[in-house]
Amino acid sequence: MGVELHEVSLSYPGTDLVIDSLTAQIDDGEFVAVLGASGCGKSSLLNMIAGLLQPTSGWLEVPQDGAAFMFQDANLLPWLSAADNISLALKLGGYPADLRDARVAQLLNLVQLGHAGQKKPHELSGGMRQRVALARSLAQDRQVLLMDEPFAALDAITRDMLHEELRSLWQQTGKTIIFVTHNVREAIRLAGRILVLSSHPGRILETRRISAQLRNDPAQAAALADELTTILRKEQRKHERTSAAG
Ligand SMILES: Nc1ncnc2c1ncn2[C@@H]1O[C@H](COP(=O)(O)OP(=O)(O)OP(=O)(O)O)[C@@H](O)[C@H]1O
């Protein structure tokens, strides 16, 4: 089962609507990017899918075991090695003690860190720390993986490498991934479908399917990136005008 949102609306106490009547279906095993300007409600949406926040109205259908979450900041425990950070997540999830070391090794290999398990977070680069955070999210063994701008703080080269690795990891694991970003090119590189959110309140403005052919054709990908950027800019300007008027 994937994730379904049925006319989901959200406002925080004392705020206007942040998300307005959002309906979407994300299939099991799909890789979807949620693209929108800063403040349009992307993180709020992920928090509702994770069950950390209740919608003001509407309802969501999420697999019973919930979803794993990965954030922009790796938030690793600094006194534990990479392997122990992952092992702790397995322990908290009730993974049998005698099988934990083997599973940690498997997860480290999956994120290309087989050689670095004994290193502490301060000995790892930003990209390596995010790989550990990804392995830790996978340790939760949920079908749905929610990713909130996980690569936003990384340099362009590291981000490119992680994009490739994440696509291949998605293909290997068949996870349902919902990836939030305000980076148009990142959304096109990663996802099979992009949901573009409007700002204030967040609604689905556009839905685009990304074929392998488009993703691998630089001219087509650049044309789509331009088109989506124009849509986002227009949306942002509209919001700025509304705020100035209010
Ligand atoms: N706990 C809260 N209480 C009140 N308002 C909030 C709260 N959390 C978020 N908001 C507001 O809700 C709106 C959406 O915030 P959210 O963080 O979901 O957007 P976002 O698209 O993820 O932004 P960014 O890209 O900057 O992370 C913003 O206007 C924000 O100020």
ipTM of this predicted structure: 0.95
Looking at ligand 1, which residue's alpha carbon is closest to its atom 16?
A: 41
Q: Give the distance (Å) from ligand 1 centre to CA of residue 178.
A: 18
Looking at ligand 1, which residue's alpha carbon is closest to its atom 23?
A: 39
Question: pLDDT > 70: what percent of the chain?
Answer: 98
**Tens of pLDDT, residues 17-74:** 999 999 999 999 999 999 998 888 999 999 999 999 999 999 999 998 889 999 889 8
Mutation test residue for ligand 1: of 19, 22, 38, 43, the one with most atoms within 8 Å of CB? 43
Q: Give the distance (Å) from ligand 1 centre to CA of residue 147.
A: 16
Residue 86 and residue 116 in contact, taking contact as beta carbons nearer than 8 Å: no
User: What is the pLDDT averaged over residues 137-141?
Assistant: 92
Q: Where are the domains of the chain?
A: 3-66+143-245, 75-141
pLDDT at 37: 85
pLDDT band at 98 (very low <50, low <70, confident <90, very high): very high
Question: pLDDT > 90: what percent of the chain?
Answer: 82
Exposure string of 35-57, with b = 16+ CB inside 10 Å and e = fewer, is: bbbeebbbbbbbbbbbeeeebee
Mutation test residue for ligand 1: of 11, 16, 19, 44, the one with most atoms within 8 Å of CB? 44
26: amino acid identity, one letter:
I
Any residues with CB less than 8 A from the CB of 45 and at least 6 apart, and which?
A: 8, 19, 22, 34, 180, 197, 202
Q: Give the distance (Å) from ligand 1 centre to CA of residue 240.
A: 16
SS (H, E, C) the chain: CCEEEEEEEEECCCCCEEEEEEEEEECCCCEEEEECCCCCCHHHHHHHHCCCCCCCEEEEECCCCCEEEECCCCCCCCCCCHHHHHHHHHHHCCCCHHHHHHHHHHHHHHCCCCCCCCCCHHHCCHHHHHHHHHHHHHHCCCCEEEEECCCCCCCHHHHHHHHHHHHHHHHHHCCEEEEEECCHHHHHHHCCEEEEECCCCECEEEEEECCHHHHCCHHHHHHHHHHHHHHHHHHHHHHHHHHHHC
pLDDT at 245: 64
Mutation test residue for ligand 1: of 8, 9, 10, 15, the one with most atoms within 8 Å of CB? 15
Which protein residues touch ligand 1 with a CB less than 6 Å away?
12, 15, 18, 36, 38-44, 182
**Tens of pLDDT, residues 212-245:** 999 999 999 999 999 999 999 988 887 777 666 6
pLDDT band at 246 (very low <50, low <70, confident <90, very high): low
State the pTM of this model. 0.93
CATH number of 3-66+143-245: 3.40.50.300
pLDDT at 179: 97
